[in-house]
Amino acid sequence: MCLAIPGQIITIQESADPLTRKGKVDFSGIGKEVSLAYVPEAKIGDYVIVHAGFALSVLNEEDASASLQAFDDLSAFEN
């Protein structure tokens, strides 16, 4: 099963080649560098869905919050 996780873009490294555009994304306090090649419209502060190191789509804040809450709920259920 594949799982894509929402995170918020905190920095962007622009590039002359849009396929090498990268950004640092915050996943509830953990920052990871991801490719932004598939979301050229993404900007700092946006929430994106990330899978296998690639941001796949931009989310609005409401949808991102709902997804993050669902992950928190699942985590609490396991404990």
Q: Domains of the chain by range and CATH?
A: 5-78 (2.30.30.140)
- Give per-residue pLDDT as tens, 42-51: 999 999 999 9
Structure-model confidence comparison of residues 12 and 28, the more confident one: 12
Q: Over 70: is that where the pLDDT of 40 sits?
A: yes
Residue 57 — very low, low, confident or very high, per pLDDT cuts 50/70/90?
very high
pTM of the shown model = 0.83
Q: Which two tokens stand for residue 3?
A: 């799982």
Task: State the virtual CA torsion across 30, 37, 9, 16 in degrees, nearest 10.
Answer: 110
- Helices and strands (H and E) in the chain: how many: 1, 5
C-alpha torsion angle, residues 39, 44, 49, 55 (rounded to 10): 40
